[in-house]
Structure 1
Amino acid sequence: MYRRALLGGALAAPALLSIPVRAQGAITLNGASQFNDDHVFTRTLVRFEELVKQHYGKPVNFVLHKNSSLGLEKQYFEYMAQGRAVDYAIVSPAHMSTFSRAAPFVDAPFLFRDLAHWNGVLEQDLFKPVAEEVEKRARVALIGYAGGGVRNIFASRPLRNLAEIRGLKVRVQGAPIWSRTFQAAGMSPTVIAYNEVYNAIQNNVIEAGENEAAGVEQMRFFEVAPNLAMTQHAITIRPLCVSVASMQRLPNDLQAAIRRAGREAAAFGRQAESTEDGQKLEALEKAGRLKRIEFTERAEMKRMVDPVMAAYAKEIDAEGILNRINALTS
C-alpha cells in the first residue's frame, strides 16, 4: 500500500509528487481535470472513481484536482508518462503524438459516418493498436474512450451543399490533416488561434469555423455565425488514461477494477456528451441564437475526402486501422 502526498495542489507541486510515500491506510490516487464539476469530463472521472470503489470493494481514496489546478491535458499526459503528480485523467489524443504518430488519427475529421459508426468503432476496440503503442512507449494506459461531441460548421451565411461551401474561408485546427481534408472538400481552410475566431468572423477575415455544441455555446460563435451547417464532419474521442507506473504499484485486483471501471465510465461519458450535444443545439435554436441547417451532400463530401484520409493513414502507418473502420457497418 502506498499514498501519494499532494503538497499544495498547485503547479509548483509536481516535482514533489514523483516520490510515492508509504503510509498507513488506503491507497490514494490523484486525478486531474481542466474543468469544473458540471463538465462532462469531470463527471466521467467522478463516475470512474465510483466504479473503481464498487468493483474493488476495499478502501481506496481518490483526489480529483479540477479547474486546471494541475495544468492542462498536455501536462497531465506528461505527468502520467513520468509516473508522478497525476494518476488518471481524460486527455485529447493530439497530446500523445510524441509517443505515437497514429494517436491523433483517433480524433481525425471525416473518419466516422455517424454516431452509430463511431460507437461501433469504439465498441469493437478498433483503436487497440494505437492504445498498445501508447501504453508501450509512453507508459500510459488508455482504459476507455469518452467524448461524443459532434463537430459542425458555423458560418455567417447558410451552407446547404458542396456548391455553397466551395471556397469557404473556414478556420480549422492546427493539425495538418484538418487543412488537407477541408481543402479536399473544396473549402479554403486557414489556421487561426481559437480565441481569435470570433473577431476574425466579425471582421470578415474568415466566414466560418467548426466546433461541437459546447464550444459554439461557450465562445458565443452564434453571435457572428448563426448558421450551423450540420456537416457532422468529426466526432470527438477523449481517452480516459491511467499511468502505468501508478498501476504497477497497485494490487492486481485493484488494477483489474481500474481497467473495468475505465471502460464503463468512458461509456457513461460518451452517452452523456453525445446526448447533451444535441440538447445544447436545440436550446440555442429555440432561443433564436442559431439555426441548424441540413447539409444535403455530407456523404459526397466524405467521398471527396476519403483519398486524403487514406494517404494520411499510410503516412502514419494506420492503414490497417482505417480499413477496418471503413469496413465496419453501422
Structure 2
Amino acid sequence: MTTLKTYTAAAGILAGTVLSASACEVTLRSSDTHPDGYPTVAAVQYMGEELAKATDNKLCIEVFHSAQLGEEKDTIEQTQFGVIDLNRVSLGPFNNIIEETKIPSLPYIFRSVEHMHKVMDGPIGEEILAAFEAHDLVGLAFYDGGSRSFYNSQKPITSMGDLSGLKFRVMQSDLFVDMVDALGANATPMPYGEVYSSIQTGVIDGAENNWPSFESSGHYEVAGYYTLDQHLIVPEVLVMSKASYDKLSAEEQQAVREAARASVPVMRDLWAEREKASEAKVREAGVEIITDIDKTPFIEAMVPVYEKYVTTDKLKDLVTRIQATE
C-alpha cells in the first residue's frame, strides 16, 4: 500500500510516492518538533523517497512530526543513544554540546540569508557538520531557519529601550540567554511547545522566531506585536545517530548522505513559499509589524556576547572566515 505525497515548491511541483514503513526492510525514525506540512518535515519525507529509491526500498524514513518523540533537548539525547535515528533540530540546543555550532548561532554573524547559504553550503559548513561525529551524531545537512525577530503581547518594540524589563522565551542555549540579557530584556529558556500558553497566561511577554514558526505555532494569536529586527539567521541541522549510521553498509551510508543533500533545495523552495504565506496570514490577522528600527545599537550590544563565546583561535578563525565570505 502506498501513500501519494506531493510537494509544491517555488521551482515547480515535485511529486513522488512514499512507501509505507511496512514495505521497507529498515525504517529509520526521524523526529521534528514542527507540524506536518512544515518545510523541514516535508524535506525529510522527500529525503525518505530518495533513500528508498536509492536502496531498492531497503531503507525508508518515517517522520514523527509535532514533537511526537519529545522536545528538541530530549530528542538530541535519544538520537545520541540511537533510540531515534534521524533528527531535525535547531542549532541553538547544540550550542552547549558542540562549540562550533555557536558560531552560526551568533547574532548578526550573517549579513543575509544568501550569505548564510554561501557559508553553510561550503567548506565552513562541512567543517561544522564534521564536528558532530565526536558527539555520537553524524551531521548530514543544513536547513533554513529563516531570520528570527522578537514578538510580544505588550507593546511595539522600536528601540533597545522598549525591550527593557520584558520577558522573552529563548531556546535552551546559554548564548541566546546572554543575547537577550545584553539587549536589556529578561531571557526565559523553555521548550517550544510551552510558549503559547506561557504568553497567554503572562508567564512570559513574548519570544523570538521566524515568520513560519510565529504563524504555525499560533503565537501570533497571543502576541500582537512583531518587530523585524532579524537578530538571528540560524540554520537548522539534520543529524543522524552515529549508532544507527554505523549499522549501515558504506553504500547505504553514501545513499543517506546524498538523499539528505538532495532534500536541501526542496526544503529551501518550500521555505520561501511558506514564509510568504505565513507573513500574509499574520498581517491579515492584524498583528502590528514594526519595520522602522535602527539595528546599530542592537549590533553594538553584541560585543560582550562575541567576547564571551568566541574564545578560542579555532572559533575566532571561523568568525573571520564567515565575515570574509562574499
Q: 2:309 aligns with which of 312, 319, 327?
A: 312
Which aligned pairs between 1:223-238 and structure 2 lie closer than 5 A?
223-238=221-236
8 Å CA contact retained: 1:110, 1:234: yes
Residue aligning to 1:302: 299
Alpha-carbon separation, structure 2, partners of 1:222 and 1:70: 25
Residue aligning to 2:269: 271
Give the residue type in structure 2 aligned to 1:311. K
Structure 1 residue 293, shift from structure 2 partner: 1.5
Alpha-carbon separation, structure 1, partners of 2:320 and 2:165: 30
SS at match of 2:311: helix
Residue aligning to 1:242: 240
Question: Residues 308 and 75 of structure 1: is their aligned pair in 2 closer, same or farther, counting only changes over 3 Å?
Answer: closer
Residue aligning to 1:38: 37
Question: Residues 103 and 126 of structure 1: is their aligned pair in 2 closer, same or farther, counting only changes over 3 Å?
Answer: same
Q: CA-atom RMSD, angstroms?
A: 3.2
How many residue pairs end up in the alignment? 299
8 Å CA contact retained: 1:152, 1:210: yes
Residue aligning to 1:90: 88
Which aligned pairs between 1:61-100 and structure 2 lie closer than 5 A?
61-67=59-65, 68-82=67-81, 84-96=82-94, 99-100=97-98
Give the residue type in structure 1 aligned to 2:151. F
Residue aligning to 2:50: 51
Structure 2 residues without counterparts, runs of 5 or longer: 1-22
Q: Deviations over 1:113-144 (max 9, x none)?
A: 22122222212242433322221x12311110
Question: Residues 134 and 69 of structure 1: is their aligned pair in 2 closer, same or farther, counting only changes over 3 Å?
Answer: same
Structure 1 residue 153, shift from structure 2 partner: 1.2
Alpha-carbon separation, structure 2, partners of 1:317 and 1:223: 43
Alpha-carbon separation, structure 2, partners of 1:212 and 1:315: 30
Structure 1 residue 247, shift from structure 2 partner: 2.8
Structure 1 residue 200, shift from structure 2 partner: 6.4
Is 1:147 matched with 2:138? no
SS at match of 2:99: coil
Structure 1 residue 229, shift from structure 2 partner: 0.9
Question: Residues 96 and 305 of structure 1: is their aligned pair in 2 closer, same or farther, counting only changes over 3 Å?
Answer: closer
Q: Deviations over 1:159-186 (max 9, x none)?
A: 2344x5362524142422223223434x
Structure 1 residue 99, shift from structure 2 partner: 4.5
Structure 1 residue 57, shift from structure 2 partner: 5.5
Q: 1:189 aligns with which of 186, 189, 200?
A: 186
Alpha-carbon separation, structure 1, partners of 2:238 and 2:24: 23
Structure 1 residue 325, shift from structure 2 partner: 1.6
Q: 1:130 aligns with which of 124, 128, 135?
A: 128
Alpha-carbon separation, structure 1, partners of 2:188 and 2:226: 20
Residue aligning to 2:11: none
Q: 1:159 aligns with which of 147, 157, 162?
A: 157
Alpha-carbon separation, structure 2, partners of 1:230 and 1:197: 19
Q: With the length of structure 1 as denominator, give the TM-score of the two structures.
A: 0.76
Larger radius of gyration: 1
Structure 1 residue 319, shift from structure 2 partner: 1.7
Residue aligning to 2:176: 178
SS at match of 2:233: strand
Question: Residues 60 and 304 of structure 1: is their aligned pair in 2 closer, same or farther, counting only changes over 3 Å?
Answer: same
Q: 1:103 aligns with which of 74, 91, 101?
A: 101
Residue aligning to 1:8: none
Structure 1 residues without counterparts, runs of 5 or longer: 1-24
Q: Deviations over 1:13-52 (max 9, x none)?
A: xxxxxxxxxxxx9641312224543222221111111222
Alpha-carbon separation, structure 1, partners of 2:74 and 2:194: 24
Alpha-carbon separation, structure 1, partners of 2:245 and 2:193: 37
Give the residue type in structure 2 aligned to 1:191. T
Alpha-carbon separation, structure 1, partners of 2:39 and 2:142: 13
Q: With the length of structure 2 as denominator, give the TM-score of the two structures.
A: 0.77
SS at match of 1:107: coil
